[in-house]
């Protein structure tokens, strides 16, 4: 059986996707990558992500009125435009739920309830439905109704203090990472619920939040910090000139090469690597030097050793150092890359982590691909992000609506 003939993992699964911005859409996009039929419900004005023409001062617009923000995360979906403030619009959704497997929404608490699209209402229609809900701060507590976006998630979860010394000013991680991990977490929860349904025959409510997801993104750091409360929560000591000088293990640090490229060393079992590393770096006379002979000694004298390594790495360009290290031992190292370099990275290309997509309007484009690989149920990018309401009539016809009914909905302003 060829890859094209193999079934997708979620082929036959119907997802009703009532999400906006990034958090919710990421979850449903990942389901779409796995073959699910994802029907994206949008207001007649569309997902607000369609209007992000500038982000962080950068022009994010594309030809034809499109935006890179929307195109990047809304593939493998069909769009139906509905006015859910009108009962006829809600009635269409309720009809859609009858044979749906998953319903996803990430509106602030109370919105779905006011419109008659709560879990309690939908499970009466379809008891085996997986109802996935994304929120800012979780479904319980005094702030459960507060809205949140990526930066708020990073702030409250402690992530903004994870990028520097403990007493440094907070700094956000770039790339809207709080929204991204929220969507990944919600998608993971949906898959678990689908598995539970296949085993136990039950539908259920699955809830993920910005706050909980961002905490779990830092799960190791959070756990270690809570277990050793008498120790500084940050491993970075701000008494040093720079974070690099503060690194207790110089063999797990980053250095600038002659060509201005940075190399990241990640040899955390430093005593195992020290002798071979010193030989590879041409500093074998330091192997038995008392100041550097073991982990504790190198840590105490790290500023001096880091200065020595800075000088050595500055003598050759990154490719030469990469060749030297690769041929001299089992060292763990990597180039420090910018986002725009990823498309040319040989490992990224070999594994297809960035996909080439033929866009009907934009022509050949590249998108971050689904991060997992499946031997028997391959993922795929079958369609690009839909135009607003592009599939409204198609979806309604599949649901059994006649042309007269569809025309009536258009006349009432329920659909485009």
pLDDT at 52 over 80: yes
Task: Please measure the distance between the N-terminal and C-terminal CA atoms of the chain and give it in whole angstroms.
Answer: 42
Nearest CA to 72 out of 354, 389, 378, 372 is that of: 354
Q: Show the CA angle centred on residue 345, arms to residues 183 and 350, nearest 5°.
A: 80
SS3 37: strand
Pairing of strands 58-59, 54-55: antiparallel
CA 11 centroid distance within chain: 23
Range of weakest confidence among 5-14, 78-87, 110-119, 143-152: 143-152
Residue 22's contacts (CB-CB under 8 Å, 6 or more residues apart) are 49, 73, 150, 176, 179, 180, 183
Q: Which residue has the higher pLDDT, 347 or 256?
A: 256
Quick one: 135 exposed, middle or buried, by C-beta within 10 A (0-12, 13-18, 19+)?
Answer: buried
Report how far residue 152's alpha carbon sits from residue 172's, in angstroms, rounded to the nearest whole number. Answer: 10
Q: How far apart are CA 302 and CA 368, in angstroms?
A: 38
Query: CA–CA separation, 391 vs 227, rounded Å?
Result: 52
Cβ 159 vs Cβ 218: under 8 Å = yes
CA distance 293 to 291: 6
Asked whether the CA dihedral 48, 49, 53, 59 is positive or negative, the reply is: positive
How deeply is 91 buried, as exposed, middle or buried, from its count of CB atoms within 10 A (0-12, 13-18, 19+)?
A: middle
Q: pLDDT for 283-301, tens place per residue?
A: 999 999 999 999 999 999 9
Task: Kindly report, residue by residue over 219-249, the tens digit of the pLDDT.
Answer: 888 888 888 876 555 554 444 556 676 678 9
- When mean pLDDT is compared across 20-34, 160-174, 177-191, 392-406, the lowest value belongs to 160-174
Q: Are strands 204-209 and 61-62 parallel, antiparallel or unpaired?
A: unpaired
Pairing mode, strands 37-42 and 354-359: unpaired
**Which domains does the chain possess?**
3-217+350-411 (3.40.50.10540), 243-256+262-335 (3.30.1540.10)
Task: Find how far residue 52's CA is from the centre of its chain.
Answer: 18
The percentage of residues in the chain with a pLDDT greater than 90, rounded to a whole number, is 72
For residue 72, give every residue at least 6 positions away whose Cβ sits within 8 Å of its Cβ, in sequence order, or none: 367, 368
153 vs 316, higher pLDDT: 316
Among 392, 340, 369, 388, residue whose Cα is nearest residue 66: 388
| Cα separation, 33 vs 175, whole angstroms | 21
pLDDT tier, 1 (very low <50, low <70, confident <90, very high otherwise): very low
* Residue 17 CB neighbours (<10 A): 28
Q: Are 362 and 62 in contact (CB under 8 A)?
A: yes
Sign of CA dihedral 163, 168, 171, 177: positive
Give the long-range contacts of residues 113-121, CB within 8 A, separation 24 or more.
Answer: 115/84, 115/85, 115/90, 116/90, 117/18, 117/84, 117/90, 117/93, 119/205, 121/94
State pLDDT tens for residues 193-222. 999 999 999 999 999 999 999 999 998 888
d(C-alpha 72, C-alpha 322), whole Å: 33
Please state, as a whole number, how many other Cβ atoms lie within 10 Å of the Cβ of residue 95: 15
Mean pLDDT of the chain: 91
Element (H or E) spanning 206, and its range? strand 204-209
- In whole angstroms, give the CA distance from residue 214 to residue 222: 11
Digit-coded pLDDT (tens) for 311-365: 999 999 999 999 999 999 999 999 998 888 988 888 888 889 899 999 999 999 9
Reported as a single tens digit per residue, the pLDDT across 373-396 is: 888 899 999 999 999 999 999 999
What phi and psi values does residue 286 have, to the nearest 5 degrees? -95, -5
> CA 79 to CA 388: how far, in whole Å?
6
User: Which pLDDT value is given to residue 238?
Assistant: 46
What span, in angstroms and rounded, lies between the C-alpha atoms of 127 and 144?
26
Distance CA 337, CA 345 (A): 9
What's the pLDDT tens digit per position in 94-120? 999 999 999 999 999 999 999 999 999
Question: What 3-state DSSP class applies to 140?
Answer: coil
The answer, yes or no, to whether residue 4 has pLDDT greater than 80, is no
């Amino acid at each position: 059986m060829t890859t094209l003939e193999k079934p997708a993992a979620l082929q036959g699964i119907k997802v009703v996707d009532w999400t906006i911005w990034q958090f919710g859409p990421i979850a449903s996009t990942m389901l779409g990558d796995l073959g699910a039929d994802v029907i994206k419900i949008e207001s007649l004005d569309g997902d607000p992500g369609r209007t992000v023409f500038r982000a962080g001062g950068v022009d994010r617009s594309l030809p034809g009125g499109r935006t890179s923000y929307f195109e990047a995360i809304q593939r493998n979906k069909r769009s139906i435009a509905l006015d859910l403030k009108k009962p006829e619009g809600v009635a269409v959704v309720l009809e859609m739920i009858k044979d749906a497997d998953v319903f996803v929404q990430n509106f602030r608490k109370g919105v779905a309830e006011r419109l008659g699209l709560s879990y309690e209402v939908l499970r009466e229609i379809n008891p085996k439905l997986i109802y996935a809900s994304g929120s800012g701060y979780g479904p319980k507590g005094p702030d459960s109704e507060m809205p949140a976006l990526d930066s708020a998630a990073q702030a409250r979860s402690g992530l903004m203090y994870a990028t520097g010394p403990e007493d440094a000013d907070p700094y956000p991680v770039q790339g809207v990472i709080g929204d991204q991990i929220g969507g990944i977490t919600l998608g993971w929860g949906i898959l678990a619920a689908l598995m539970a349904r296949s085993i136990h025959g039950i539908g259920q409510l699955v809830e993920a939040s910005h706050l909980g997801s961002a905490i779990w993104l830092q799960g190791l750091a959070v756990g270690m910090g809570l277990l050793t409360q008498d120790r500084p929560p940050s491993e970075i000591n701000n008494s040093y000139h720079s974070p690099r000088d503060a690194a207790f293990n110089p063999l797990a640090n980053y250095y600038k090469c002659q060509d201005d490229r940075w190399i990241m060393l990640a040899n955390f079992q430093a005593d195992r690597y020290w002798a071979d590393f010193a030989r590879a770096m041409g500093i074998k006379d330091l192997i038995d030097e008392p100041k550097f002979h073991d982990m504790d000694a190198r840590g105490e004298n790290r500023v001096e050793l880091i200065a020595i390594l800075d000088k050595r790495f500055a003598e050759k360009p990154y490719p030469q150092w990469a060749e030297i290290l690769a041929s001299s031992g089992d060292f763990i190292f990597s180039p420090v890359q910018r986002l725009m370099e990823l498309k040319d990275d040989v490992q990224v290309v070999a594994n297809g982590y960035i996909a080439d997509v033929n866009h009907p309007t934009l022509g050949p484009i590249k998108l971050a691909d689904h991060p997992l690989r499946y031997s028997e149920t391959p993922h795929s990018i079958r369609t690009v992000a839909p135009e607003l309401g592009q599939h409204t009539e198609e979806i309604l016809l599949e649901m059994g609506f006649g042309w007269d009914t569809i025309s009536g909905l258009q006349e009432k302003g329920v659909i485009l």
